[in-house]
Amino acid sequence: MMDSTPILDIRDFSLVFDTFDGAYHAIDKVDLSLAAGEAVALVGETGCGKSVLTRAAFGLVPSPPARITSGSVRLDGRELLGLSDRELRGVRGKDVAMIFQDPMTYLNPVFRIGTQLTDAIRAQSGGKVKRAEARDIALGMLEKVHLPNPERQFKAYPHELSGGMRQRILIAMALAAKPKLLIADEPTTALDVTIQAQILDLMAELVEDMGLTMIMISHDLGVVAQVCSRVAVMYAGKIVEDAPIGQIFDAPAHPYTKGLLDALPHPFKRVERLASIPGTLPDLLNPPKGCRFAQRCASAHAACDAPVGLRRVAPQHTVACTLFEDTPMKDPVHEH
Amino acid sequence: MTRLILKRLGMMVVMLLGLAIITFSIANIAPGDPARLAAGPDATPEMVEQIRETRGFDKPLPVRFALYVGQLVRGDLGTSVYTGRSVSDDIAQFLPATMELVFFAITIAIVFGIPLGTLAALWQNRFPDHGIRLIAVSGAALPMFWLGLMLQWYLALELGWFPLGGRLGVFDDVPPQITGMITIDALLNGDPRTALTALWYMVLPAAALSLPALAAIIRVNRAEMLEVLGRDYVINAKAQGIGPLRITAIYAQKNAILPSLAMIGLRFGWMLGGTVLVEGVFDFPGIGLYAAKAAVSSDFEPIMAVTLILGAAFMFTNLLIDLAYAVLDPRVRNQV
Amino acid sequence: MTSASSASATPTARRPMKYRETRRLIRTYSRSFSSMVGLVIVALFLLIAAFGPLLAPYPEDAYGAVDFSAKLLPPSPEHWFGTDQVGSDILSRVLIGARTTLQIGLTVTGIAILIGVPLGMIAGMTSGWLPEAIMRVTDIFLSIPGLILAIAIVGALGPGIGNAMVALALVWWPGYVRLVQAKTLSQRNETYVDAARALGAGPLRVVFVHVLPNCLSPIIVKASMDMGLAILAAASLGFLGLGAQPPYPEWGAMVSTGRSYLPDWWWCTLFPGLAIYFTVLGFNLMGDGLRDVLDPRQR
């Protein structure tokens, strides 16, 4: 795992939004790396920058107002920052596919499903695939995502389908070109609980079958546990902890991760009420110099006012918290 | 679809009846003697009495309304004191010219308005956007009649690029009347030269007439485009690697154009009203000039008739717009 | 930002909070260049309307003074905008005409609001045949091109500036009914209105304390836009000879008179028209700016 080039390698990535009131530091020096076949969850509360990070890396956040101030994004060894719009378009769809939170709004309401699918498939191939061929691929993909009656859904408009069906269509659309990397941005949040489970099953199945490398964005640790093997926890534009899923549940290091876990309903433990983390996100127009969580952290102390980088606490487990010492170990993936 | 059409046609009949109530009220409830109004300002008392009797102005209001509706159904719109002819004949003569002019003007407004609005949205807050918005705010503020005069003064009198007014020159062959619209009649007659000449005569009045509509369409399309371009399905289309031209011109435009359509319908009605101002400036023998002349000479029945006819034309346009809506938006289609 | 947490808890914090909100609105408004241009034009227009007779170099020319020795003079230092066919100074007539224009705009918009807002409230808050009837009548009025209907009404009442204003007001109110009805309807079922009802607020209290204030922003925005549109419509009626009658200093009528003197004596037409254009532009830009600030969702 360590000697092969990672599929995705984000280094030192920072992004600000230029607003009337000044620069809003949405993402600050983020490192994230995915090896082939890995399914990583990016977890954090709403507004922590997880969607912005994965979209901006592939040129999907309009600039202005967004501005990438530092870093590099390598996809399979190829640097993406600095590519032209046209080159990025060649990467999107074909190499990197995305599925999004709300299947209700991510399909164009005035075009038929079939039109949208074949258009996407043709665009992914850079126009090489003919319309009839794209139709066959699309129908094949619809079967693959277990959509009943693909032929009929092909002629339907989005509003005629249920949320679960639409999410299956979006998944089919995303995976048609067999991308190197799939980014699933809260793919189940907008769905009913039973449908959620079905879609998660489908995604786990596809990750397995197609050998997908995937980033799944979620604010719900319970959801990602079903599909992902590793978790990166993000808070206020920074990654604060990065560890295998088991370790996150068994031995969470960062106080924020612990807070997230306490907020999760547990099937075996009876609790009077779920814990919540007091306070709100810091003002990112004037972000604190030190740990961005310190304001809300029960264990905060003087050292938290100084900048804190990721520290290694176990092989494959790093955390950005002053409570831990950096222990040099053999795994060099997150070295600076 | 048929049900929608029937339903809307039924509503239109009710609306037309309402319209008749309004014109009837203006003529009968307004201070002053309806018989006097109908007889015109130069009528002798005997003539007034005669009209009072023949047109039933001495009967009670509900009876008079029934008589009025009866007349309307028979196509009897009264007599013009000014032309001395029946108003229906006058309108049959003048309406096609106005329709030709207004269709030309709305075409100008759409053909320039939609692309300009889209361009402004794409270049939001940059130089082209400022220029286009200047056109839009000016178009809404320029008095149509004054703009017409200025165009006539500069482009026709000073530069001689366009004719001063009228529908055709003295030496042009007038095509045999089929529809009453010279461009169409000339084309049917196999005479494209005359059709072009007639079009040439309409350029200045149509330009003056179309500017407010152009301004409104630019504004609506710009605003809608800005909104639609930020929608999730556009982000999804981008994530699939679909090109910007296709996204803007097809994916986004088909959604953005719906509100512009409503605006086009509304503006068509206002343009019908605007002909009263512009046709006089360019001595264009249409229903607007007819109404303007009737209004200054207190020739009452033609004004009422024109109000009715233009109101009906406006309602009919809105019916067509609603149907176009249903064709373009599958959600509306299924609702009915 | 920093003081918000300490101040928000006490009731005395309400005033500064409100004040801060107003300041925020002013700041947002003044950020937009075009909104500021609109504000400046409107302010200038109001000043001219207020002090026109004092500013005008030849105030007596506004009301039909005749001096044939000075007729149709081109723009010059004595007559910046030239003189018309009876030797009146066009600048003076334009400056003094501002008051007429303002009067027309205010009257038409004012009457339309007075008729339209209560009807819209009734249509939005009650149920049964009455709101249905109000909305049907409104729909019919809105389905006739306004200018044509106004011409018909002036035709029945007879030409003149007073009748023109009445006619325009009569065709203008339905827009407010639509606006207020839609707004009221959406407010009626809002949670806070339910809460007020649950606390025992009567229907009038609900309307005046809860619903009306929420309709205020769109009404202000529409009124600002309508000032411009009403001025334009009144000038149109003047141009047709149905509104103000010459030599009354009304811009539309001035364009109409000047028309006969094109192209050689172009200033008779050009300047009154420009006055209409800039005034309407000012109100439109201001309306746009207000909408962006007060009612950002409406487009």
pLDDT of residue B37: 72
Tokens of A14: 């920072």
CA dihedral A241, A247, A251, A254 (to 10 degrees): 10
Q: Do B22 and C141 touch (CB under 8 A)?
A: yes
Closest residue in A to B329 (Cα–Cα) = A110
DSSP 3-state assignment of C109? Answer: helix
Closest residue in A to B233 (Cα–Cα) = A106
Confidence of residue B334 (pLDDT cuts 50, 70, 90): low
The answer to whether residue C1 scores a pLDDT higher than 60 is: no
Q: What is the mean pLDDT of residues A260-283?
A: 70
Residues A173 and A99: their CA atoms lie apart, in Å, by 9
The ipTM, to two decimals, is: 0.86
Mean per-residue pLDDT over chain C, rounded:
82
Q: Do B133 and C141 touch (CB under 8 A)?
A: no
Q: Do C139 and B15 touch (CB under 8 A)?
A: yes
Q: What is the mean pLDDT of residues C43-55?
A: 86
Percent of chain B with pLDDT strictly greater than 90: 22
Q: Which helix (H) or strand (E) holds B283?
A: none
The answer to whether residue A63 scores a pLDDT higher than 90 is: no
The answer to whether residue A274 scores a pLDDT higher than 70 is: no
Q: Is A108 on the interface with B (CB under 8 A)?
A: yes
The answer to whether residue C279 scores a pLDDT higher than 70 is: yes
Domains and CATH numbers, chain C: 98-287 (1.10.3720.10)
Q: How many CB pairs under 8 A join A and B?
A: 83
Q: What is the mean pLDDT of residues C79-108?
A: 84
Measured between CB atoms, which of C137, C139, C152 is closest to B26?
C152
Shortest Cα–Cα distance, B3 to chain A (Å): 20
Shortest Cα–Cα distance, B331 to chain A (Å): 7
Q: What is the mean pLDDT of residues C110-116?
A: 93
Q: How far, in whole angstroms, is CA B215 from its chain's centroid?
A: 16
Confidence of residue B97 (pLDDT cuts 50, 70, 90): very high
pLDDT of residue A268: 60
Its pTM stands at 0.81
Rg (CA), chain A: 20
Shortest Cα–Cα distance, A67 to chain B (Å): 17
Within 13 A of C274's CA, how many CA atoms are on the CB side?
A: 11
Measured between CB atoms, which of B232, B241, B330 is closest to A124?
B241
Confidence of residue B104 (pLDDT cuts 50, 70, 90): very high
CA dihedral B248, B254, B256, B260 (to 10 degrees): 130
Kindly report, residue by residue over A67-79, the tens digit of the pLDDT.
888 888 888 888 8
pLDDT of residue A315: 82
Q: How far is CA A47 from CA A190, A254, A279, in A?
A: 17, 19, 14
Chain A residues in contact with B334 by the CB 8 A cut-off are 157, 159-160
Chain B residues in contact with C157 by the CB 8 A cut-off are 30-32
Q: Do B235 and A123 touch (CB under 8 A)?
A: no
pLDDT of residue A267: 59
Region of A71 (left: φ > 0; alpha: ψ -120 to 50; beta: rest) is: left
Instruction: Please tell me which residue, B133 or C204, carries the higher pLDDT value.
Output: B133
Q: Do C156 and B300 touch (CB under 8 A)?
A: yes
Shortest Cα–Cα distance, B332 to chain A (Å): 10
Pairing outcome for strands A39-43 and A213-218: parallel
- The chains found to touch C (3+ Cβ pairs under 8 angstroms) are B
Strand-pairing partners, residue A96, are A92, A181
The answer to whether residue A275 scores a pLDDT higher than 70 is: no
Q: Do A108 and B255 touch (CB under 8 A)?
A: yes
Shortest Cα–Cα distance, B271 to chain C (Å): 8
Mean per-residue pLDDT over chain A, rounded:
82
Percent of chain A with pLDDT strictly greater than 70: 93
Q: Do B239 and A97 touch (CB under 8 A)?
A: yes
Phi, psi of B155, deg, nearest 5: -80, -30
Measured between CB atoms, which of C140, C276, C288 is closest to B143?
C276
> Considering only CA atoms, which of B295, B164, B273 is closest in space to residue C229?
B273
Shortest Cα–Cα distance, B220 to chain A (Å): 19
Chain B residues in contact with A120 by the CB 8 A cut-off are 237, 240-242
Within 13 A of A101's CA, how many CA atoms are on the CB side?
A: 11
Q: Do B153 and C263 touch (CB under 8 A)?
A: yes
- Candidate from B71-80, C9-18, C93-102, C259-268 with smallest mean pLDDT: C9-18
pLDDT of residue C5: 41
pLDDT of residue A4: 66
Percent of chain C with pLDDT strictly greater than 70: 92
Confidence of residue B335 (pLDDT cuts 50, 70, 90): low
Region of C158 (left: φ > 0; alpha: ψ -120 to 50; beta: rest) is: left
Chain B residues in contact with A109 by the CB 8 A cut-off are 233, 255, 329-331
Are A51 and A30 contacting, i.e. CB atoms less than 8 angstroms apart? no
Q: Do C144 and B277 touch (CB under 8 A)?
A: no
Instruction: Please tell me which residue, A294 or C86, carries the higher pLDDT value.
Output: A294
- Candidate from A163-167, C60-64, C71-75, C160-164 with smallest mean pLDDT: C60-64
Q: How far is CA A148 from CA A143, A152, A161, A164, C7, in A?
A: 8, 9, 11, 12, 58
**CB interface of A with B, residues 82-101, below 8 Å:** 85, 89-94, 97-98, 100
Residues A240 and A282: their CA atoms lie apart, in Å, by 15
Q: Which residue is listed with tokens 């309401």?
A: A109
The answer to whether residue B222 scores a pLDDT higher than 70 is: yes
Kindly report, residue by residue over A314-336, the tens digit of the pLDDT.
888 888 888 887 776 655 554 44
The answer to whether residue C113 scores a pLDDT higher than 90 is: yes
Q: Do B133 and C144 touch (CB under 8 A)?
A: no
**Mutation site for B-interface testing, chosen from A20, A80, A88, A106 by largest number of B Cβ within 10 Å:** A106
Phi, psi of A183, deg, nearest 5: -110, 115
Q: Do B307 and C148 touch (CB under 8 A)?
A: yes
Measured between CB atoms, which of C136, C157, C228 is closest to B18?
C136
Instruction: Please tell me which residue, C26 or B143, carries the higher pLDDT value.
Output: B143
Measured between CB atoms, which of B236, B242, B246 is closest to A100?
B236
Q: Is A181 on the interface with B (CB under 8 A)?
A: no
Q: Do A123 and B251 touch (CB under 8 A)?
A: no
Closest residue in B to A57 (Cα–Cα) = B239
Measured between CB atoms, which of B31, B142, B149 is closest to C259?
B149
Q: Which residues of B lie inside 8 Å of A (Cβ-Cβ)?
A: 231-233, 235-244, 246, 251, 254-255, 328-331, 334
Measured between CB atoms, which of A85, A124, A159 is closest to B240?
A124
> Considering only CA atoms, which of A230, A234, A221, A224 is closest in space to residue A266?
A221
Kindly report, residue by residue over A222-259, the tens digit of the pLDDT.
788 888 889 999 888 888 899 888 888 888 888 888 88
Tokens of C89: 């100074």
Q: What is the mean pLDDT of residues B117-135?
A: 87
The answer to whether residue C136 scores a pLDDT higher than 60 is: yes
pLDDT of residue A335: 43
Q: Do A157 and B236 touch (CB under 8 A)?
A: no
pLDDT of residue C2: 40
Measured between CB atoms, which of B243, B255, B330 is closest to A157?
B330
Are B51 and B39 contacting, i.e. CB atoms less than 8 angstroms apart? yes
The answer to whether residue A283 scores a pLDDT higher than 60 is: yes
- The chains found to touch A (3+ Cβ pairs under 8 angstroms) are B
Shortest Cα–Cα distance, B240 to chain A (Å): 4
Cα distance between the two ends of chain B? 8
Strand-pairing partners, residue A83, are none
Kindly report, residue by residue over C224-246, the tens digit of the pLDDT.
889 999 999 999 999 998 888 87
Q: What is the mean pLDDT of residues B60-66?
A: 84
